[in-house]
Amino acid sequence: MTVQIRVLFVVLVVALGGCVEKPLPAGAVFADRVLAAMDSGLYAVGDDWRAARAQAVASTRNSATPEEALAPLRLALAHAGRSHSTLSRNAEAAPTPAQSPTMPTVTRDGRLAVVRVPELYGGDATTAQEYARSLIAGIKEAAVAGSCGWIVDLRGNTGGDMRPMLAGLTPLLPNGIVGSSQARDGSRIPISVTDGMVDIAQERAFAQVETAKFPGPVAVLLDAYTASSAEFAAIAFIGLENERSFGTRSMGYSTMNVTIPIDSYTLLLTVGIDVDRTGKAYPSGVAPDERVAGSVDTAAAAAAWIRARCP
């Protein structure tokens, strides 16, 4: 009897030991965290997303490290956030420190002023303030010198920090909501400017105070490299009286992204579509009011339109 009990005990221990779940390797744990974050992506809905997510889970169960899980996760991200979303190791995502951001410029041609708004990546808070101040100061100087109309040149601007772009352009924009970001459930996050201050969802996001406003016709220039934050800067002018855009369709990254740190990686995830002040959404970029193919021709068409409206 005693022997039988001992044998039974050994059998039970072996059986129960076989039921203990094996811990997931580090890459699989990382994948689960990333996929949970991707669930909030703009396009992370429906059967396609569920299938893509399940495939990513299956493909990463044996991933020993986050690096081994990257390829399946990036395939899933192509569904959840599409082309404006990225998953990068922090060293890959970091900007190159050797190159300083290009500052905006404002030049005059008679009564016409050309406001060049470049991309802004990698700068700190001081750089962002300098960027906004450069825009505001250039616009004010041109207005005092007698400029009547404005060309806002967003060509080649691939994006970056939207806030100083909007703050710097506030002398040409009325105070109030300039657009919004629409989530997949239809809710909208308003984005507004007030005298150099930028609010996102009623919270102060940036401030470079300037109360001066300079009316006049505004021509916005676009090309295939106008992207992301620059596309929203263009959208901020849509719906205004005496505004017109020229050039070619923008890149099509007219979405709002959030940055999510996960371990030593950064997930940049698309969560909303840009919407203008009238409520129109721009899921695939901004088409100009007047399509002009060449760079020189685009500037010339915009200048002619403005000069016809400046006495």
pLDDT in tens, 117-150: 999 997 789 999 999 999 999 999 999 999 999 9
Euclidean distance between CA atoms 153 and 117, whole angstroms:
6
Q: The CATH number of the domain where 240 resides is what? A: 3.90.226.10
**For residues 104 and 65, is the Cβ–Cβ distance under 8 A?**
no
Q: Which of 89, 58, 94, 62 is nearest to 75 (CA)?
A: 58
If pLDDT is split at 50, 70 and 90, which confidence band does 114 have?
very high
Residue 32, domain extent: 25-80
pLDDT at 3 over 70: no
**Do 109 and 227 reside in the same domain of the chain?**
yes
- Class of residue 1 by CB neighbours under 10 A (exposed 0-12, middle 13-18, buried 19+): exposed
- Final residue belonging to a domain, choices 80, 97, 120: 80
If pLDDT is split at 50, 70 and 90, which confidence band does 81 have?
very high
**Tokens matching residue 162:** 């939207």
**Do 220 and 262 reside in the same domain of the chain?**
yes
**Do 76 and 110 reside in the same domain of the chain?**
no
Average pLDDT over residues 12-32: 72
**Do 159 and 195 reside in the same domain of the chain?**
yes
Euclidean distance between CA atoms 162 and 232, whole angstroms:
8
pLDDT at 11: 41
216: left (phi over 0), alpha (psi -120 to 50) or beta: left
Residue 90 belongs to a domain: no
pLDDT at 96 over 90: no
If pLDDT is split at 50, 70 and 90, which confidence band does 202 have?
confident
Average pLDDT over residues 22-46: 96
If pLDDT is split at 50, 70 and 90, which confidence band does 92 have?
low
User: What's the whole-model pTM score?
Assistant: 0.86
User: What's the domain count of the chain?
Assistant: 2
Residue 140 belongs to a domain: yes
pLDDT at 205: 92
pLDDT at 42: 97
pLDDT at 44: 97
Residue 39 belongs to a domain: yes
Q: E strand or H helix at 190, and its extent?
A: strand 188-194
Residues composing the chain = 311
**Do 130 and 218 reside in the same domain of the chain?**
yes
Residue 20 belongs to a domain: no
- pLDDT tens digits, 149-193: 999 999 999 999 999 999 999 999 999 999 999 999 999 999 999
**Do 47 and 156 reside in the same domain of the chain?**
no
- pLDDT tens digits, 209-253: 999 999 999 999 999 999 999 999 999 999 999 999 999 999 999
Question: Within the chain, how many helices (H) and strands (E) appear?
Answer: 9, 13
**For residues 123 and 162, is the Cβ–Cβ distance under 8 A?**
no
pLDDT at 235: 98
If pLDDT is split at 50, 70 and 90, which confidence band does 91 have?
confident
Residue 19 belongs to a domain: no
pLDDT at 20: 57
pLDDT at 98: 46
**Do 33 and 137 reside in the same domain of the chain?**
no
pLDDT at 281: 97
**Do 58 and 138 reside in the same domain of the chain?**
no
**Do 31 and 143 reside in the same domain of the chain?**
no
pLDDT at 105 over 50: yes
**Do 53 and 129 reside in the same domain of the chain?**
no
**Do 239 and 177 reside in the same domain of the chain?**
yes
If pLDDT is split at 50, 70 and 90, which confidence band does 2 have?
very low
pLDDT at 113 over 50: yes
